[in-house]
């Protein structure tokens, strides 16, 4: 990925849209992906009596429309149980709890497969609600990280991109996707903040929902492209400096061996 904004292998003009999207919809429609035999079910959360009482209270307050009665520490305790983000003021925490309950119950209804109608492979941005597939591989114990391993299954995810950035070390483009629903092999829980590299997000066709204001999305993309350009320039400068330093060390070594 190395900080690229677009997948260089993706050419919209040459894209076989009808065939490609038909295949995508066919895969998305199945969603019950087969996986390896004997796979264990997801591990249930281990909760004490206090956690159980808190969840019961949250459910009741949500049902009665009185969620604002929760205290900040109770909001964070609920979010911590579900391994969700804890940052923000009380209103943000309450909205996160409401979103979690909503997507847990109605995620695939509020964000149906049929609503993802635009192909954004190679150019997703913060604010996009995207749908994409992941292949899950399992390496043998002791295998190095470079070994891909065998394919265990697939999962289909839908969520909102809440953050994207270029790494300081290698300028790799990474996204944080807040999951709305996930189906298939070992699905992600609702609102799980998934950190994923751009090349993995774009591996298959990445579909998105339309924005209410596509002009606003264009402005977000322009800002992202500007950062991408700076990231690539920084990487080029750093590589050039490394090459110069390498040449200096070589010349110094050659000079010492000849004297």
The pLDDT tens digits for 120-137 are 988 899 999 999 999 888
The Cα angle at residue 214 between residues 212 and 216, in degrees rounded to 5: 95
Instruction: Look up the pTM and report it.
Output: 0.68
CA distance 138 to 236: 35
Distance CA 167, CA 163 (A): 13
The per-residue pLDDT for 72 is 94
What is the per-residue pLDDT for 151?
A: 87
Tens of pLDDT along the chain (259 residues)? 433 344 444 444 444 444 445 555 555 544 433 333 444 444 455 677 888 999 999 999 998 999 999 999 999 999 999 988 898 999 999 999 999 999 999 999 999 999 999 999 888 999 999 999 998 888 787 777 777 778 889 999 999 999 998 876 666 889 999 999 999 999 999 999 999 999 899 988 899 999 999 999 999 999 988 888 777 777 777 777 788 888 888 788 777 777 6
Rounded CA separation 206/246 (Å)? 41
State how far the Cα of 191 lies from the Cα of 82, in Å rounded to an integer.
9
Task: Output helix, strand, coil percentages for the chain, rounded to the nearest 5.
Answer: 45, 20, 35
What is the model's pLDDT at position 40? 44
- Residue 6 pLDDT: 44
- Helix axes of 49-64 and 72-81: crossing angle, nearest 10 degrees: 110
Domain definitions of the chain by residue range: 49-110, 114-259
pLDDT value at position 23?
A: 52
Please give the pLDDT value at position 133.
93
Q: Check: CB of residue 99 under 8 Å from CB of residue 208.
A: no
CA 19, CA 22: separation in Å to the nearest integer?
5
Q: How far is C-alpha 17 from the chain's CA centre?
A: 24
pLDDT of residue 118: 95
């Amino acid at each position: 990925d190395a900080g690229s904004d677009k997948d260089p292998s993706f050419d919209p003009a040459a894209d076989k849209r009808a065939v490609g999207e038909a295949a995508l919809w066919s895969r998305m429609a199945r969603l019950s992906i087969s996986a390896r035999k004997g796979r264990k079910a997801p591990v249930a959360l281990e909760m004490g009596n206090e956690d159980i009482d808190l969840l019961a209270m949250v459910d009741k307050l949500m049902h009665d429309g009185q969620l604002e009665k929760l205290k900040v520490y109770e909001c964070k305790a609920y979010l911590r149980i579900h391994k969700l983000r804890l940052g923000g003021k009380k209103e943000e925490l309450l909205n996160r709890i409401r979103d979690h309950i909503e997507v847990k119950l109605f995620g695939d209804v509020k964000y149906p497969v049929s609503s993802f109608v635009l192909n954004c492979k190679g150019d997703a941005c913060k604010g996009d609600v995207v749908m994409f597939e992941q292949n899950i591989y399992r390496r043998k114990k002791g295998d190095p990280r470079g070994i891909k391993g065998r394919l265990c299954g697939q999962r289909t995810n839908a969520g909102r991109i809440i953050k994207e950035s270029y790494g300081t070390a290698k300028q790799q483009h990474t996204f944080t996707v807040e999951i709305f629903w996930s189906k298939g092999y070992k699905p992600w829980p609702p609102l799980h903040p998934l950190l994923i590299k751009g090349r993995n997000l774009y591996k298959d066709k990445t579909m998105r929902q339309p924005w209410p204001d596509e002009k606003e999305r264009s402005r977000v993309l322009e800002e992202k492209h500007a950062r991408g350009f700076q990231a690539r320039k920084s990487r080029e400068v750093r590589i050039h400096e490394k090459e110069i330093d390498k040449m200096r060390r070589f010349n110094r070594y050659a000079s010492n061996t000849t004297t």
